[in-house]
Amino acid sequence: MLSPERLSLPGPEYLAQRHVLTYMEDAVSQLLENREDISQYGTARFFTEYFKSVRQGTHILFREFSFVQATPHNRASFLRTFWRCFRTVGKNGDLLTAQEYHCLLQLLCPDFPMELTQKAARIVLMDDAMDCLMSFSDFLFAFQIQFCYSEFLESVAAIYQDLLAGKSPNTVIVPTSSSGQHRQRQPPNDCSPLDGVEASLFYQCLESLCDRSKYSCPPSALVKEMLSSAQRLTFYGFLMALAKHQGINRALGALPDKGDLFLDPAMDQELEKLVAQVSGLSISAPTSSSGDAANLPVRNLPRISSPWKPLHHRRKMDAESEGSNEETDSSEN
Contact between residue 142 and residue 120 where contact means Cβ atoms under 8 Å apart: yes
HSE value, Cβ hemisphere, 13 Å, CA-based, for 317: 8
Closest by CA position to 121, among listed 86, 103, 146: 146
Q: At what angle do helices 150-164 and 136-148 cross, to 10 degrees?
A: 90
DSSP for 89-114?
A: HHHTT-EE-HHHHHHHHHHHSTT--H
No. of H helices and E strands in the chain?
Answer: 17, 4
Closest by CA position to 236, among listed 188, 295, 308: 188
CA distance 157 to 239: 10
Contact between residue 238 and residue 149 where contact means Cβ atoms under 8 Å apart: no
Q: Please state the pTM of the whole predicted model.
A: 0.75
Is residue 231 helix, strand or coil?
A: coil
CA distance 119 to 132: 14
pLDDT tens string, the chain, 333 residues long: the values are: 556 666 677 888 888 888 999 999 999 999 999 988 888 889 999 999 999 999 999 999 999 999 999 999 999 999 999 999 999 888 888 999 999 999 999 999 999 999 999 999 999 997 656 689 999 999 999 999 999 999 999 999 999 999 998 887 666 666 554 434 444 444 555 444 458 999 999 999 999 888 888 889 999 999 999 999 889 999 999 999 999 999 999 999 999 999 999 887 877 777 777 777 777 765 555 544 444 444 444 444 443 333 344 444 444 444 444 454 444 454 444
CA distance 11 to 303: 53
Residue type, 99: Q
